Structures are given as structure tokens and as C-alpha cells.
Chains A and B, each alone.
Chain A
Amino acid sequence: MSAEIPSTIPALEVRRRVPAPPPVVFDTWTDPELVRHWLGGSAMNVPHASIDLRVGGKYEYKLLSPEGANSRILGTFLSVQKPDQLIYTWIVENDAGRSPETTVSIEFIDLGDSTEIVIVHEGFLDVGVRAAHEEGWVGCFDAFVPLLD
């Protein structure tokens, strides 16, 4: 009876080293034409992207899946620090509805000829906050894996 479940939701963190310095990576990340070529991976098409790169500015990516389904990713920039950091809200929308708002923080760490990109995607608890009403949601995402064994 001593097993414990942690009381906080860890944010989703993804790290990748990419072969270009931060200014190039930052531009590739924020130029609408270039975003169309990498966002969503090789299978997902991005027919349109618009980016108003300033604090309070909005962005929108239109996505088209290979099955022909349309969806949109949209949000607002909360922090723009070229070429080191970006923070923006993130909502996914398709015919089925709209995801809860999450927050994406990107850091571009200078490694000389290359950059380490650190993506922290968080705010997944919002949905739980509403559900838990007065109770105050404390989560346990990282407890799922051991529980599922």
C-alpha cells in the first residue's frame, strides 16, 4: 500500500538537435512559407500558414491530412525573443470540435553550428481544472505507465 502517485502533471517535453544555428532555426520556425514545409511531418500538408510574429499577434496553420481531412492549429504569441525563445498558445480545431487551449514554449539553444530545440507543451490540465470544480486538480500523468503494467 506504499505506492505513490505524483501530484503534478509534467509538461510534455521534446528535445531535438538540428543542424543550423539559432537565427536560421528561428526563421524556419516563424516564416509562414517555411512552416508549411515542416510542420506536421512528411505526411501532413499545410496548405496555408499565417503568422503575425509579435506579442499578442496571432498565427494560424491550416492542415490537410492524407485522408483529406481539414484541421487548423491556431493561437497567440505570448513571448517573442528572436532567436532564443517563443511562447504561444495552441488550439487544434477540426470538424469534430476544438481542443482545450494549451501553451507551447520553444527554446533555441545555441550550440555553435547547431541548435538544440526544446519544446515544452503544457496546459493539458485545463480540461481537468474544469472537471474537478472546487476540488483543485492535481494530476498524475506520469503515474499512468506504471499503473498500466
Chain B
Amino acid sequence: MKKLDRHQIAARVARDIPDGAYVNLGIGLPTLVANHIPKDREIILHSENGILGLGPKPAAGTEDEDLIDAGKAPATILAGGSYFHHADSFGMIRGGHIDICVLGAFQVAANGDIANWHTGEPDAIPAVGGAMDLAAGAKQVFVTMEHLTKKGESKIVERCSYPLTGVRCVTRVYTDLAVIDVKPDGLHLVEICAEGLSFDELQKLNGVPLKYRAAA
């Protein structure tokens, strides 16, 4: 079996982002999605620190300390972009104006619950940022993650064991093995991405029963 690497997962997510979408990309793997958006699509990236129309990384020597992205890295703004304050920025998120957000996760449950902010360990310093707002507010919540933990356990689970970020909010999961839709009646396999992986093998690895019907 040949699993997808991080860039391939990002490229697979990018395929599903339609022209004209307002999109928020989380830190880490989700950020890579921006590198794979087809040239013929105009997609407006939202950065929660106050940008619509986030552009690519600036060329060396042209960074401006007043222009950064949500990961606090130097950024640029596209023609047509805008700046706004934090309450407006999260109003866009909470108010359902962001079409898609892409988040990383520790676990996703069959009912769409997501856990991605805290391991729950008592000495771990908690930090949540905008993850709970995005989970609650974006019209569609896409999750990217490796399908299995280092120990080989499925990160798609019946019920999250880590502290929750949001309830019943994930709409689609992209892993190094498969793309899976979260629907009211359970998990639907959209496609198997890992080369040489059969449905039965995927079903064995996945923590929760999968319905074998491609999404429309």
C-alpha cells in the first residue's frame, strides 16, 4: 500500500475547493492546500488575524512586520484584498460567511465531532486559538490528518477520547488513505487514495463502519 504524503493530501483537498469560495486554512498541513489550488480558480483565503485575499509568502527582503498571517509568518495581500479587526474577522467565521475551513485534528468521530486543540494531559498548556470558532462557524469543515496514529490506531473513532473542539461539525475528512464524508447516517467513503488499499482493508483499519457509496 502506498499512502499519500502531506503534499498529496493537500492537493486532494484543493481539488474540492470551488471557484469563488471563501476559505480559511488552518496552520500546518492545511496551509499547504494554498500551493495546490488550480490556476483557473479564484479562491479568497481568509486569515483570522484580519485579511481577506491572503496572498503567497513574500519574496525575501520584502517582508513587512505589519503584514502577517494567522501563523504569524510574513504574508502578502492580493489585489482586491481587505483588512479588518478581530471582531469582524470572527464575525465572518461565526456568522457562516466562510464557505470552507480546513483543520488538522487528533481525532474525528463518526458523528462529526472533532478534537484538535488539547491532548488532555494535565501538564500540557492548553491553547485553542480560533479552532473552536472555525469548527462552529464555517459552512463546511474539512479535516486533514493521517488516518492512523503512530501506534496504528484509527483517528476516525466512534467517540473522541481527546477534549472536543466542536460537536457534529466535520463534513469531510481527507487522510493519507481515503476521503470520507461525515453524514447524519454515518461515514461514507468518497474514495480510497492509498494505492493498493482495498475497501475491506480500509474498513479493518478504520475505527468505525464505512458506507461504501461514493458521495454525489
A binds B: no
